[in-house]
Amino acid sequence: MTSPLHQLTMTYSPEQDRVMLRIGTKENTEYQLWMTRRFVRIMWRALIQIMERDPNLAKDWVPEDRVTEDRVPKDQVPKDQVPKDQVPKDQVPEVKDAIMAMQHQESVQNSDFSQKHAKGNVNLMANTGALLVIGGQVKPVNEDRTRINLKTDKGTGIEFFLNKKLLHALCHMIIKSAQRAQWDLDLAVGDPNVMVPADAAQIH
């Protein structure tokens, strides 16, 4: 895909028991892709791994301004008197999950899901129909950019890039579509107890 991304839409088809991902570009062209339950489950793991690598997760829960170096006399706290077990490692994932959930909630609430998918786009799949996604790659480009490359059953590769906001939006659409499909995938970004009230299946 050479044209920049303009719009993503995701809908569930009960007849196909698949999710259709429509990718609109700024050149008014459109890709239509079928995604199965199995592929959504695999892709979800990759998307979450990208979010977990965000270096800002650690920065957000470590209050660096609480203790300055010049206030800690190094010679008064022997290393053997600092109990390592007072900050259990098993609590760190819980904190990160909570932060991921808050970041996701904030991003979704600041996204525009109100606009319907653009009409009049040139459907690049008109001759073949929507293509079935059978594989792909999700890789970070930098801290704010993720590359997604989807491989179809016809050998076509569809590549597009998402910033953090669009990555969260895509995850939100996947969650909502899987819920409508009743796929019982139990998808959540971070702590599932932090809920996002928005109900949408497209991002503009």
Q: What confidence tens digit (pLDDT) does each residue in 79-115 have?
A: 555 444 444 545 456 777 888 888 888 888 887 766 6
> How high is the pLDDT of residue 140?
92
Task: Answer whether 146's CB lies under 8 Å from 159's CB.
Answer: no
Alpha carbon dihedral 142, 21, 202, 180, in 10-degree steps, equals -120
Which of the residues in the chain have pLDDT under 70?
1-2, 56-93, 113-116, 192, 194-204
Nearest to 173 by CA among 16, 5, 6, 19: 19
> How high is the pLDDT of residue 16?
95
Q: Is the pTM of this model over 0.85?
A: no
> How high is the pLDDT of residue 95?
75
